[in-house]
């Protein structure tokens, strides 16, 4: 239901949507890396959906309000639950302004590691 509401609200915003995918590969050298990849194929992991966990694929537009789900940098207000209004969607960084709290209207840059980024009309 949440995904449907998010899609509906995103459709109401003007502009082009940018799709961001989660990172979907194992990092580092592990002895059982190939076993894990066989047991848990990427397609299977990307299809999982849990309450409170973002989907594998998310679409954003400029002016989309988002809420951080993890602590990135408390010294500039990037904590779990921080609300941000998106002002720029780049390939390697998302910029926005914090909404409310002690850091209200502070412009922040959120770096991202993403394998695939596509834009939609």
Does residue 86 contact residue 66 with C-beta atoms inside 8 Å? yes
Q: How confident is the model at residue 56 (pLDDT cuts 50, 70, 90)?
A: confident
Please count the CA atoms within 13 angstroms of the CA of 68 that sit on its side-chain side. 24
Instruction: Give the domain range for residue 86.
Output: 2-120
Q: Considering the entire predicted model, what is its pTM?
A: 0.74
As for how many domains the chain has, the answer is 1
Rounded to the nearest integer, the mean pLDDT of the chain is 82
Residue range 17-48, pLDDT digits in tens: 998 887 766 665 666 767 777 777 778 878 88
Residue range 59-68, pLDDT digits in tens: 999 999 999 8
Torsion, Cα of 46, 81, 19, 107 (10° steps): -150
Model pLDDT, residue 26: 60
The percent helix, strand, coil of the chain (3-state, each to 5) is: 20, 30, 50
Using the predicted structure, report yes or no on whether residue 95 has a pLDDT greater than 80.
yes
**Residue 62: how many other CB atoms lie within 10 Å:** 17
């Amino acid at each position: 239901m949440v995904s449907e509401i998010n899609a509906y609200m995103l459709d109401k915003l003007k502009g082009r949507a940018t799709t961001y995918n989660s990172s979907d590969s194992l990092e580092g050298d592990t002895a059982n890396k190939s076993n894990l990849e066989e047991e848990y194929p990427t397609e299977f992991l990307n299809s999982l959906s849990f309450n409170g966990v973002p989907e594998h694929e998310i679409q954003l537009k400029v002016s989309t309000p988002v809420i951080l789900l993890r602590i990135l940098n408390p010294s500039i207000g990037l904590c779990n639950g921080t609300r941000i209004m998106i002002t720029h969607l780049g390939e390697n960084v998302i910029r926005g302004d914090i909404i409310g709290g002690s850091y209200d209207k502070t412009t922040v840059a959120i770096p991202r590691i993403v394998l695939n980024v596509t834009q939609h009309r």
